[in-house]
Amino acid sequence: MVADMEAGLEHLSWAGGTLRHVDLLAIVVLPQVKSLMTAARTLRLARQLGIPCLGLVGSRPERPGDEERLGAFAAEHRVDLLAVVPRDEAVVEADRLRACVLDTAPDAPAVAAVAGLAGRIHEFA
């Protein structure tokens, strides 16, 4: 099962602990400082809860060096960078149309990145 949780760390608290029994936690992270800081806290809490597999999904790198920054962060925190999903105008346009990007632009770069992510997640099954 895949669950897209709302942003926040309460899912990782001992009180809430909604995610306590997951097999893999994929943390979506932007290449900006606040997002990386939140990802570091999320990783720490996930490890305290004993979640066995952790991974990062880089989202919307836009500037030169953003992908390298995500990779360095992953290495520093001893976690796999499962995928990097680019900012993609096809996704923005599909959202504007209230449509699925798979229907409007199935060959879009973001679609390919998510397909690769699905393959990586399958490795953990």
Residue bearing tokens 């997951």: 22
Name the residue ranges covered by the structural domains of the chain.
19-123
Under DSSP, is residue 34 helix (H, G, I), strand (E, B) or coil? helix
Which amino acid, one-letter code, is at 57? V
Q: Class of 19-123 per CATH?
A: alpha beta
Residue 24 pLDDT more than 70? Answer: yes
**pLDDT given at position 7:** 67
pTM: 0.88
Residue 22 pLDDT more than 90? Answer: no
Residues contacting 61, CB < 8 A, separation 6+: 31, 67, 69, 70, 84, 86, 87
The token pair that represents 53 in the structure block: 């597999």
**pLDDT given at position 123:** 86
